[in-house]
Each structure stands twice: as structure tokens, then as C-alpha cells.
Amino acid sequence: MKKCGLAAAIAAIFGMVAPPAADAAESVSVLHWWTSGGESKAVRVLKDDMEKQGYGWKDFAVAGGGGAAAMTALKTQVISGNAPSAAQIKGPLIQDWASQSVLANIDKVAADWKANLPPTLDTQMKADGHYVGVPFSIHRINWLWINKADLDKVGGKPPTTWPEFFALADKFRAAGITPVAHGGQPWQDMTIWETVVLSQGADFYRKALVDLDQQTLTSPQMVQVFDIVRRIHGYLGSGYQARDWNVATGMVLSGSGGMQFMGDWAKGEFANANKKADVDYICAPAPGTSNAYTYSVDSFVFFQERGAKDATPGQLAMAKTIMSVDFQQDFSLYKGSIPVRLNVPMDKFDTCAKKSYADEIATIKSSGFVPSLEFGMVQSAATEGAITDAVTKFMNSNEDSAQGVKALAAAAKVR
């Protein structure tokens, strides 16, 4: 977000232009990008809960993986003086919007949050010591999804190393199955790339993508990352360009695709199709990442009404509902995620979610719990975009790994 100029414009708008006519205490307008089958069911849980409490719901869903289109729409709404009551935001963007003095304080409903959130996430929900954001759930990014029937057909097993992965990919290809179901959109390319970075170890990942350490970014180990990514690219099959992620997931569902690198929102699509973990599909940490966990956290922030610093009753009700144990459970059961609250019972969740939760706790303790670059959890939009451009160019060109590393190092300097 460009702070210069935008801050003044936003401040003027909030002081001069009235918000939407609907009373926020009776109706809430909600901007989000949950539009696929599993995602739509998940957000409907919140809508239904709010309506049961007597609040109206104005849905403003903006399709587009990763939320880039939604963030553009949000900026337009805020600058036009028509900010939503709540908007889906994550990572550093929470602090960017807070710095514009347009977010509402939700401390009134956050008394027990600190004790029930991972410490890094609790900090991220605050600005100047006050809660301005509420987290929904945690998605693990470094999953590999495998069609079980395909796996049984070729006599394979979930790969734990890259040599095992490529051996399985060869078996799928020999059986007429597209080895890796993928869509050639930049964020999907980055999902593969940052997962391969993670396979080099959580410390390597942190130095490269959190610290943006130039020595790490230009190391022989990073060249190896690009080598592995280039080899994976050879197993994507035909027609992958611009394929939506859920279409790629559908390939794994049908068995036409053997594997997919994707966050655990993919599991929401499996659940929506009545598929069962360990029966119809396998969830496994991507090769080399069993002791690490890249995460993305969906959150809502609440925009001030008429410049008031405190949230309205409707906004507070929404924040309280989102962090309730019952909602956290129900939402994640549809979404494919796990609850962000650490005290939600996991007995209703499948084996993939239970493993995700166990690995989350273990990696928090071992320092293997790291934020996803591609899913907006660690760097500015400018830096993330520059790195994404460098990686996507590599994956869709004839650049060699040395050229890819050079472009990556330059991109990491963009601020």
C-alpha cells in the first residue's frame, strides 16, 4: 500500500463522507474472496450465525485466488468513502491499514485471545497495543495432495524426499496420469516454489524469505531450489496455463491428476465432494518439509464508522463470533483449515486436520512454524510482487537456475 498521499485521502474521506446508509449495528457489509464450493459453505457459517443474532449481512465477494482483486476493490471502496464493515485481510496489510487510522478497536471482545492464539499471530492482530483484527483459521501451505486410487494403481507411497517424488511422478506419467495437477497462475507457481524453499529447512526459509538475506538468496542451495522447481515443471502436463486452483484440485479428485501442491483449502473441495482422507485422497507434507509448517491466516479487520475509534455492536458481534470455539470448529470443518484458537477440540476433524494441528504445535516449539511469503504473511506487497514476478518468469521461460537466482536477489531489494 502506498502510504504517502493515500493516508491524507483516506483521512479526508472518513471525516467528510458518510458511510453506507445501513446501520452497522443492524447490518454488516463484508468484503472477502471466498468463492469456491468449500469456501462458500464456510463463510455461510458466519453469515448464518450473524443473522441468528439479528444482524443483516451484505455480501461482497470478489473472486480471485490469493485476494489480489479483493484488495484492489477494498482500496477503491475506502477511497470512495464506502468502506465495508469488515474486510478479509492478512499479514502486514493489517498494520498498513492500521497506520491509516481507519480501523476500529475490538478490545471489548478480545479478553481471552492472547491466551488462546499462537504468539506471533496474537501480535499481528494488534496495532498500538489494541486488537484491530480477528483471525479465522490457519492454513498449512506445504501440503502435497495425492489421489489414493492412483497411488495404489502404481504401487507407490507418499514421497518424503525429492528423489521419491520424481520416481512417483514417473510412475504416474507411465500410467497415463498427469503427475502434478497445477494451474499456471503466479500464486500457484509460488506455492510450489516456496514449498521447495521450505524443503531446504525452516532456518534456510526464514533467512531467505523472512530476512531476505542476500547471501542465502544467492547461495548454491537456492540454485538447487530452482533446479528442483524446473524439474517439477516438467511434470505439469498440457493445458495447465491459467487453470484455477480448484479445477486442478478437481483433477486430483477425479484421478486424472496424481498430485497437487496446495494449501489445505484444497481439503474443503474434497469434503464438498464427499471424499474422505486416507480413503479417497492422501495428505502428506511436501517432500523434505515434515518438520516445518508454512502458514497463512485469514483475518478480518473492521473499518471505523463515521470516524469512531471503537467498533459498532455489529462489528463486535462478528469479532466475538469468529473467535468463539463453536464457530472456529464449524468454519474450519468446511474450509479445510484448522482453528486458529489453540483450545478447540479436534475430535470432529479428519486425520489431515489432526496432523496439521499436531504439526503446528510441534513446529511452534521447534521454530519450524514460518509465515508464507506468497499468501501475504511476511513481506510488503511490493516485495512479494517482485519476487513472484521473478519466480513466475523463471517457471515460464528458458531461464537457467543461475539467472533465476540473480533475478530473485534483485527482487528481494524492492521495497
Say whether both 200 and 74 belong to one domain: no
Give the pLDDT score at 386: 97
Q: What proportion of the chain, given as a percentage, has pLDDT over 90? A: 81
Contact in structure between 103 and 131 (CB atoms under 8 Å): no
* DSSP one-letter string for 23-70: -TTTEEEEEE---SHHHHHHHHHHHHHHHHTT-EEEEEE---GGGHHH
What is this structure's pTM? 0.86
CA distance 51 to 264: 28
Report, as an integer, the average pLDDT of 159-171. 98
Contact in structure between 80 and 52 (CB atoms under 8 Å): no
**C-beta atoms surrounding 4 within 10 Å:** 6
Say whether both 263 and 199 belong to one domain: yes
Domain final position from 337, 355, 373: 355
Report, as an integer, the average pLDDT of 35-64. 90
Q: Which domain holds residue 91?
A: 6-139+296-355
Confidence class for position 66, pLDDT limits 50, 70, 90: low
CA distance 283 to 145: 5
Domain final position from 328, 355, 382: 355
C-alpha cell at 357: 494441528
Nearest to 94 by CA among 377, 313, 291, 358: 377
- The total number of structural domains in the chain stands at 2
Give the pLDDT score at 37: 80
pLDDT digits over 21-43, tens only?
Answer: 334 346 999 999 988 887 888 89
Confidence class for position 9, pLDDT limits 50, 70, 90: very low
Give the pLDDT score at 18: 37
Give the pLDDT score at 65: 57
Say whether both 290 and 301 belong to one domain: no
Mapped onto helix, strand or coil, the DSSP state of residue 182 is coil
Contact in structure between 11 and 242 (CB atoms under 8 Å): no
Average pLDDT, the chain: 91
Say whether both 316 and 335 belong to one domain: yes
Say whether both 38 and 148 belong to one domain: no
Say whether both 210 and 77 belong to one domain: no
Report, as an integer, the average pLDDT of 246-268. 96
Say whether both 338 and 401 belong to one domain: no
Helix axes 37-52, 313-322, angle to 10 degrees: 130
Say whether both 284 and 300 belong to one domain: no
Judge whether 276 lies within some domain.
Answer: yes
Report, as an integer, the average pLDDT of 146-153. 98
Q: Which of 13-22, 230-239, 384-393 is predicted with the least confidence, judged by mean pLDDT? A: 13-22
Q: Which of 7-16, 179-188, 279-288, 368-377 is predicted with the least confidence, judged by mean pLDDT? A: 7-16
Per-residue b/e over 197-224, b at no fewer than 16 CB within 10 Å? bbbbbbebbbbbbeebbeebbbbeebeb
Say whether both 50 and 132 belong to one domain: yes
Judge whether 1 lies within some domain.
Answer: no
Tell me which of 368 and 17 has the higher pLDDT. 368
Say whether both 325 and 369 belong to one domain: no
Say whether both 119 and 169 belong to one domain: no
Say whether both 87 and 231 belong to one domain: no
Judge whether 360 lies within some domain.
Answer: no
